[in-house]
Structure 1
Amino acid sequence: MVLSQPGWLPNASGMAMIASKRHAPWPLDWPVQDLQAAGLPVPSVVRFKLITLDHSLAAEDAPQVEPRLPRLLGL
């Protein structure tokens, strides 16, 4: 999941991992509230394993969920 806004990092984006709830929980896991809106087929969590990804490696057709992030996380 993309966390950063355009221009925040030159040529890269800050991201967090999304994992299914089938995996063992981590202390900072945050459940995704609206699975349908997020396009997720199974109960999932945002896992705060943070990374940066160079834009040249990112898929151009990746889903864009950041404008809906607060609602998807139930905030």
Structure 2
Amino acid sequence: MLPDGTKIGRWQPVSCGRHAFDRAARNAEPGLVAKALCGVDVSTDELQRIAPEIAWVREDTCMACWRILASRQ
């Protein structure tokens, strides 16, 4: 948990990069839209799938999510 109370669920590779999502986004109902910490909208269907191992290598880490997390430490 971060100092502001945000519970980080995990980093997840999605079609637009590897982003950080809070726990609420990870647990949202299918068929909705969730926001990454950087504000990017991602379908909860995509967010909740198990990413193939190659996606962890292929997708770039979102530096905006990284900076948000680093600034909260």
In our comparison, the structure showing a higher alpha carbon Rg is: 1
More helix by percentage: 2
Pairwise same-fold verdict (TM > 0.5) = no
Q: Which has the higher contact order (CA 8 A, sep 6+)?
A: 1
